[in-house]
Amino acid sequence: MRALKESPSPMFRRTLPAVLTLLFSSPLLAGQQTLFSFVRPASVVNVITADASMPQYNAEQTAEGEVLRRVVFNPVERPTLGLSPQSGVWDWSAGKALALRLQSGMDWALSVDVTVQSSDGRTLTSRIDLPAGPAQTVMVPLTARSPLDQGMRAGPPMPWTYEGQRLLLTSSVGEVDLKQVTSVTLSIPKPNVAQSLLIERVALQDDDLAFKAAYAGLIDAYGQSTRGRWPEKIVSDDQLKAADTREQAQLKGWLTERGKQQLDSYGGLLAGPAFEAQGFFRTEKRDGRWYLVTPEGHPFYSLGVNAVAADGGRTYVAGREGMFSALPGEGEPLAAFYGEGNNDDGNASSQGRNFKQGRWFDFYAANLQRGYGQPCPAPIEGQPAVACPPLALDAARWQAHTLDRLQAWGFNTLGNWSDPALGLAKRVPYTLPLSIVGDYASISTGMDWWGRMPDPFDPRFAMATERAVAIATRDHRDDPWLIGYFADNELAWAAPGNDPKARYGLAFGTLRLTTDVPAKRAFLKQLRDKYRNQQGLSKAWGIELQAWELMEDPGFEAPLPDPEHPEIERDYQHFQQVFADTYFKTIADALQWHAPNHLLLGGRYALSTPEAVKACAEYCDVLSFNFYTLKPDDGYDFARLAELDKPLLVSEFQFGSRDRGPFWPGPLELPREEDRGPAYANFLKAALAQPMIVGAHWFQYLDQPASGRLLDGENGHLGLVAITDVPYPGFVEAVRRSNQQVMDELRKGLSKPAP
């Protein structure tokens, strides 16, 4: 590999004096200055290749008439094309972005990494997802920048036409001294085969007008993206009303079909031998398979939807009003759907994001008002305008319509974070979350997305748990329609990744704390009881601990697990097991006291440890995992789970795409909307094949706002229903068929005679 400080490669040196015929090239954007042209090269820049080459002497004309230079990146770890000054450094302090005119030389998209480095060694990096097709100008910000700066998880679709050019705006992470830039490199990470990139120029952009323009007028009056078209997109109130009329007829037919199915009052299957009816939901294992059992004593496979609520369309507008093309003005009827909030909670989920507090607007509620809300009062001359009645006045209509949808689509459970009023309608069984908040101590594992881990050794945690459970169960203690409670959601039991500091993040994080944290005192007591003194610990851990008190100091860095000293890992595992046991026992004891008839449905794991899962199996009735994978068993080792002999609920799964308005596809992206239905069917089929799985809950009912939800700016196409309250018909029909197939397969299995 050649270093960037070397002179140009022989291949490139031969082309420098060549006379090239310039056919067509794209014009420079205003405020753009060319640093280097690959079409008309000049000896002002060192061009270095490492596992890459420029095989042709001359540039080539593309099908669109542009002239660009081909660079071939070989199939190695990181083939690279680099540019550096012939002498000294570049001063880019007046620049806002690096502009590269690029085109994929292949029939497919390319991922290209751009790295800018300054003389102090600092770097700024950007990942370009370069689509197949004609050339475009890629803008790489020279300071850290992402869609979170605009308040959302993912930005609008790129490329995008601006001033007559196809622009692709990227994000950047890191920081460089722009007065002392020493190099720019382009690399393709780990290509499987040789990949060709066509490049015309590298330029410096001295303004950020394109970045500002990309977000101007981005969201229309209905909360939809203005940058695309799709079949379900709404352009008028009349279209909303017509869609509602058509859907009502369809739902009526589907509900009639559902009424012919053999189901008990709660959606349990009447096929096969009956289970004991105990008046509440419970679990039972029969013939090697786990089941939920309804209060009437019939097997129940939980097909649920998360976040079935009417408040999911809220998005912050304060400070970024220019992003929205048609917000209602003061005094207009739909101004009733403004509100105030503050989601600047200090958690990792809110860090680095702008526009996370202040005034919000609820597009979903406004669209419900447009579609079937009560008529807004007509203005009376000479009198102040009267706002529309709030949605709450028509909540009964929304609730009935939503429950009709869920049952018609084959769902039988209201998943986490759903409107409690829906459960009280006694049509669909429901679940509830336990959110334990208080002033108890907490521990950072290095993840902390939703906050630090609660310290279960802190007596204040037990008090907070008691209070949270008492409040959550107060109005539901004797309700047979309630399946059970989830023990919080996606706690940071570990940090992402497979390295020891991630796996044992709870142990490392605890030992870094001061001894006024109860978990730290509990861990130190465990070690002192085992080793008696620092000499015993030093020998077992292979360290030189001069005094026991040094472990009590804040910031103590414990050693990594070491095969030559296996007690290190054993001690970490033991502490994390006691920690998890204490956590789940505290919740289980409180729930047993306040709601002995309802199930504890586990911790909704996103990240977990074997210790946490084992403790959950010990103290919870059901294990619950959020699986953002194509199949459940892609998300966890089910052979290990089977050893715990406990039922499991998939508490979240999802598939999304980028072709229906919201800019983020969610954690698991598919190429097209049409792919979501088959993916849903395959997931349920795989879930049914696991005898410990007793249900699966889709995340979520409604698409997130394209401009970002209040909580953390997520703006995903996750829903069965668009923000306009219009269902995605192809997906909904596929979901309905899949849900029905699951129930049919279970009926067949239950009808077979026992072996």
One DSSP character per residue, 382-403 reads: TS---PPPPGGGGHHHHHHHHH
pLDDT recorded at residue 382: 75
Q: Residue 512's closest CA among 452, 564, 459? A: 452
- Cα distances (Å, whole numbers) of residue 200 to 95, 103, 158, 311, 687: 20, 9, 20, 49, 50
pLDDT digits (tens, 9 = 90+) for 517-548: 999 999 999 999 999 999 999 999 999 999 99
Rounded mean pLDDT, 357-366: 97
**Hunting for tokens 């919080």 — which residue is that?**
488
- pLDDT of 360 > 60? The answer is yes
- pLDDT of 77 > 50? The answer is yes
pLDDT recorded at residue 16: 31
**Hunting for tokens 């998939």 — which residue is that?**
650
Strands 123-130 and 623-626: unpaired
pLDDT recorded at residue 271: 84
Q: What is the CA radius of gyration of the chain?
A: 30
Q: Number of helices (H) and strands (E), helices first, in the chain? A: 17, 31
**What domains are there in the chain, each with its CATH number?**
10-215 (2.60.120.430), 419-621 (3.20.20.80)
Burial class (CB in 10 A: 0-12, 13-18, 19+), 485: buried
Average pLDDT, the chain: 92
Burial 643-669 (b: 16+ CB within 10 A, else e): ebebbbbbbbbbbbbbbbbbbbbbbbe
Question: Which pLDDT band holds residue 10 (cuts at 50, 70, 90)?
Answer: very low
pLDDT digits (tens, 9 = 90+) for 635-650: 889 999 999 999 999 9
| CB neighbour list of residue 753: distance below 8 Å, 6 or more residues apart | none
pLDDT recorded at residue 3: 36
pLDDT digits (tens, 9 = 90+) for 723-735: 999 999 999 999 9
pLDDT digits (tens, 9 = 90+) for 563-588: 999 999 999 999 999 999 999 999 99
pLDDT recorded at residue 21: 36
pLDDT recorded at residue 273: 82
- CA 228 to centroid of chain Cα atoms: 22
Question: Which pLDDT band holds residue 349 (cuts at 50, 70, 90)?
Answer: confident
- pLDDT of 261 > 80? The answer is yes
> Dihedral of CA 270/417/685/735: which sign?
positive
Rounded mean pLDDT, 397-406: 96
- pLDDT of 14 > 80? The answer is no
| Residue 518 phi, psi dihedral angles, 5° rounding | -55, -35
Helix extents (H) in 409-548 = 420-424, 459-473, 500-503, 505-511, 518-531, 534-541
Element (H, E) at 577: helix 567-594
pLDDT digits (tens, 9 = 90+) for 103-138: 999 999 999 999 999 999 999 999 999 999 999 999
- Cα distances (Å, whole numbers) of residue 594 to 434, 470, 476, 587, 599: 13, 6, 10, 11, 12
- pLDDT of 23 > 80? The answer is no
pLDDT recorded at residue 2: 34
Question: Which pLDDT band holds residue 754 (cuts at 50, 70, 90)?
Answer: low
Rounded mean pLDDT, 8-32: 47
pLDDT recorded at residue 29: 74
- pLDDT of 7 > 90? The answer is no
Other residues' Cβ atoms within 10 Å of the Cβ of residue 612: 23
- pLDDT of 278 > 60? The answer is yes
pLDDT above 70 covers what percent of the chain?
94
pLDDT recorded at residue 83: 94
Strands 482-487 and 599-600: parallel
pLDDT recorded at residue 18: 32
Other residues' Cβ atoms within 10 Å of the Cβ of residue 231: 11
- pLDDT of 397 > 70? The answer is yes
Rounded mean pLDDT, 201-216: 94
